[in-house]
Amino acid sequence: MKLIFKNVTVVNSDGREVRDVFVDGEKIVAIFDEGEDVRVIDGTGQFLLPGVIDAHVHFREPGASHKETWETGSKAAVLGGVTTVLDMPNNNPAITTMEHLQGKRDLVKGRSYCNYGFHFGGSGNFAALEELEGSPAVKVYMGASTGDLLVDEPTAWEKIFEICERKNLPVIVHAENDDRIRERAKEFTVHTEIRDCECARIATSAAVALREKIGNKLHIAHMSCKEEVEIVRANKNENLSCEVCPHHLFFTADEMKDGFLKMNPPLRAQEDVDALWEAMKDGTVNCIATDHAPHTVEEKGVAGPPSGVPGVEFSLPLMLDAVNAGRLELEDLARLMGSEPARIFGLSGRGVVREGMVADLVLVDMDLSRVVSKDLVQSKCGWSPYEGRHLKGWPVMTIVNGEVVMEGGELAEDLTKVGKLL
Ligand code: DOR
Ligand code: ZN
């Protein structure tokens, strides 16, 4: 398949330029003869960005396919302009051995509409970590969350960091201090109060200090508090990175009225939200990732619901709406959702719109307005915390490995499973 985007505004982290973009097979190329089998797309007034790389999703296979399947999750992804997802290891069984990693590869093979990778779980499994190959990163749960991957032993963290340093693999931490969570659970009942910012600050500060000692690559998942922003800002270097999630940018703790907005780490105060926006702007934050964590309406609607909210399909429209509101620039999105996740997780040849790179692209209409509604939701969970929001700025075409998978807000008619294991 050959594509030409005519007269489109290409946006990368370092600027924008109106030009034609040629796609031949999987790649962006300098130029080709406009023969007969070329599809010409008029990009006048529209923007072409690197396809979104969402480095933190939970697509629930194996073990919880009633919440999400790889087909539904990856459909949701491409509908939202996402071309690559990196999936978390808190499956059943957890992805903590090479055997389980291989089993997950076999399970997902040939079933994905977007590209994908599988993070590996780090707990006491040191021998497995030594032999690990083919994961973008190792995930460590410093505080308990969904699944049973908790590691609350500093000596185990140190060993994991050392192994990953030798293997040049980033460690991703879920940074919430488990002792404090357990203590506060005796005293408080409200989720956002039990898991306060001090839980996050203690764990983030411990992880950053350990990284300073070992020298490994460290990525702080779902950073949510102003204290964490300050720690990362003060210790920033190319081996220390962090992500923020849309739910921590678009909601505050006051809005959590029931289980639907319960997640770990929880929603925070307005001053934390403001600090995250500031930190995205000044480069302290490297990536936006969704922590797409679908649970069914039935599961979320009862007392003591599981933590987690879906998000993979609306992160780009939410951020485009924020660009329209003047809060960020499109160049910031190209960095936060494209070039930085590609750099941190070693996805070479992706994350930038340039000749020679793989054609993972998203075409954006900044003037299109739509309301998020249940019937837009492709995720199997069937709901979104953003229902009812009017958003201006939507992806209108998603290209994965040179193939059009979404067009005009609809999945492509001949939608094919072009996603590759990265
Ligand atoms: O809210 C959350 N949900 N936080 C996590 O760390 C896990 C996730 C899930 O898997 O549901
Ligand atoms: Zn997660």
Centroid of ligand 2 to alpha carbon of 291 (angstroms): 5
**Which residue out of 291, 380, 381 has the highest number of ligand 1 atoms within 8 Å of its CB and is therefore the one to mutate?**
291
Q: Which pLDDT score, from 0 to 100, does residue 34 have?
A: 78
Percent of the chain whose predicted confidence (pLDDT) is above 70: 98
- Let me know whether 281 and 337 are in one domain: yes
pLDDT, tens digit, 9 for 90 and up, residues 85-142: 999 999 999 999 999 999 999 999 999 999 999 999 998 899 999 999 999 999 999 8
- The mean predicted confidence, pLDDT, of the chain is 96
| The one catalytic residue among 54, 87, 291, 321 | 291
**pLDDT tens digits for 226-268?**
999 999 999 999 999 999 999 999 999 999 999 999 999 999 9
pLDDT digit string (tens) for 315-368? Answer: 999 999 999 999 999 999 999 999 999 999 999 999 999 999 999 999 999 999
Kindly give the number of the ligand 1 atom that is closest to the alpha carbon of 141.
Answer: 6
The boundaries of the domain holding residue 164 are 51-344
Nearest CA residue ID for atom 6, ligand 1: 145
Q: Does residue 6 share a domain with residue 55?
A: no
Q: Is the pLDDT of residue 412 over 80?
A: yes
Give the distance (Å) from ligand 1 centre to CA of residue 312.
Answer: 14
Residues 26 and 14 in one domain: yes
Q: What is this structure's pTM?
A: 0.97
**Residue 173 sits in the same domain as residue 268:** yes
Assess whether 41 and 121 both reside in one domain. no
Exposure string for 289-306, b = 16+ CB within 10 A, e = fewer:
bbbbbbbbeebbeeeebb
At 160-172, the pLDDT tens digits run 999 999 999 999 9
* 361 shares a domain with 227: no
pLDDT digits (tens, 9 = 90+) for 30-61: 988 877 789 999 999 999 999 999 999 999 99
As for ligand 1, residues whose beta carbon falls within 6 Å of it are: 58, 90, 145-146, 174, 263-264, 293, 306-308
Average of per-residue pLDDT across 174-190? 95
Note whether residue 384 is domain-resident: no
Q: Is position 350 within any domain?
A: no
Judged by phi (left if over 0) then psi (alpha if -120 to 50, else beta), residue 291 lies in: left
Other Cβ atoms within 10 Å of 380 Cβ, number: 20
1: CB partners within 8 A, 6+ apart: 23, 25, 37, 39, 402, 403, 404
The pLDDT tens digits of the residues spanning 361-380 come to: 999 999 999 999 999 999 99
Residues 202 and 327 in one domain: yes
Q: Which of 56, 65, 146, 151 to mutate to test the pocket of ligand 1 (most atoms within 8 A of CB)?
A: 146
65 within some domain = yes
pLDDT digits (tens, 9 = 90+) for 192-232: 999 999 999 999 999 999 999 999 999 999 999 999 999 99
Q: Is 375 inside a domain boundary?
A: no
In the prediction, which pLDDT does 43 show? 98
- pLDDT, tens digit (0-9, with 9 covering 90-100), for 266-284: 999 999 999 999 999 999 9
Residue 351 lies in a domain: no
pLDDT grade for 147, boundaries at 50, 70 and 90: low
| Contact of 408 with 396, CB cutoff 8 Å | yes
| CATH number of 237's domain | 3.20.20.140
Count of domains observed in the chain? 2
Pocket test for ligand 1, best of 58, 60, 248 (most atoms within 8 A of CB): 58
Q: Which long-range contacts (CB under 8 A, 24 or more apart) does 204-207 make?
A: 204/173, 204/175, 204/228, 204/231, 204/232, 205/231, 206/142, 206/154, 206/157, 206/175, 206/177, 207/142, 207/157, 207/173, 207/175
Looking at the structure, tell me whether residues 36 and 148 fall in a common domain: no
CATH number at residue 31: 2.30.40.10
Q: What is the pLDDT of residue 278?
A: 98
Ligand 2 mean position, distance from CA 8 (Å): 35
What's the rounded Cα separation, in Å, for the pair 209 and 273? 24
In a domain, 377, yes or no: no
Question: In terms of domains, do 189 and 219 share one?
Answer: yes
> Does 318 share its domain with 399?
no
Same-domain check for residues 151 and 252: yes
What per-residue confidence (pLDDT) applies to 332? 98
Ligand minimally distant from the alpha carbon of residue 247: 1
Q: Are residues 407 and 275 in the same domain?
A: no
Answer whether residue 192 is part of any domain.
yes
